Amino acid sequence: MMGEPKNRRRGDELLESLFASAFKLINEQGHTNLSFKQLAAAAGTSRTVLYRRWPTILNLLQDVYIHKAKKLFDGSFFDELQDTGSLRNDLIELLSLYQRIQLEIGIDIINNYYHIRLQDKEHDKRPAAHDLAREKHLQAVRRILDRAEARGEPIRNISQLTLMLPYDLIRIENLVRPGNLDNDRIENLVDEVLLPAFVSKE
């Protein structure tokens, strides 16, 4: 009986190859045209291996999102946030960072993830990467607002719902206006939405 090809990957090495291949193919042709046949060929494995783990391409793409999001939020991405000297510029820097994260993960992959999350009516299948991203965001915004308050900028008493606003804005913008979030748009979001929400007029 013939064995498997010598270059056949297994375990973590196979997963890394699959996720990298999926990301490359999505960037080249979009997720709607992605097939298990293409992915198996690109990753050096068989379609049987893929079907064993993921019933559909959508399920695989959710795992691609979780894999990339966990790597980013476990890493040092948020260490890039510096004290710019003003709340406005700190928020611009934060939104710009979030947009880089969106592009690093892939807009198609993220939007597919939201599509699958909408099907979880009981909210009992939320991956750990989701909670990790949320907690990292809350920590970052609290640090930014604490710095602003220490500088003497008048900050409102803000609920957790409002603290989520910067993160939610970037997600919604990429969902409804993919490809249109430039620096001018980010500045407008800060000036017209975030600063009025965070800064007290008193």
Residue 5: the pLDDT is 44
pLDDT digits (tens, 9 = 90+) for 137-154: 899 999 999 999 999 999
C-alpha torsion 121→123→125→130, nearest 10: 130
pLDDT digits (tens, 9 = 90+) for 41-68: 888 888 898 988 888 887 888 888 888 7
Distance CA 37, CA 39 (A): 6
DSSP 194: I
Distance CA 197, CA 159 (A): 10
Distance CA 117, CA 174 (A): 16
Residue 11: the pLDDT is 63
pLDDT digits (tens, 9 = 90+) for 155-167: 999 999 999 999 9
How many C-beta atoms lie closer than 10 Å to residue 45's C-beta? 21
31 is written with which tokens? Answer: 């997720």
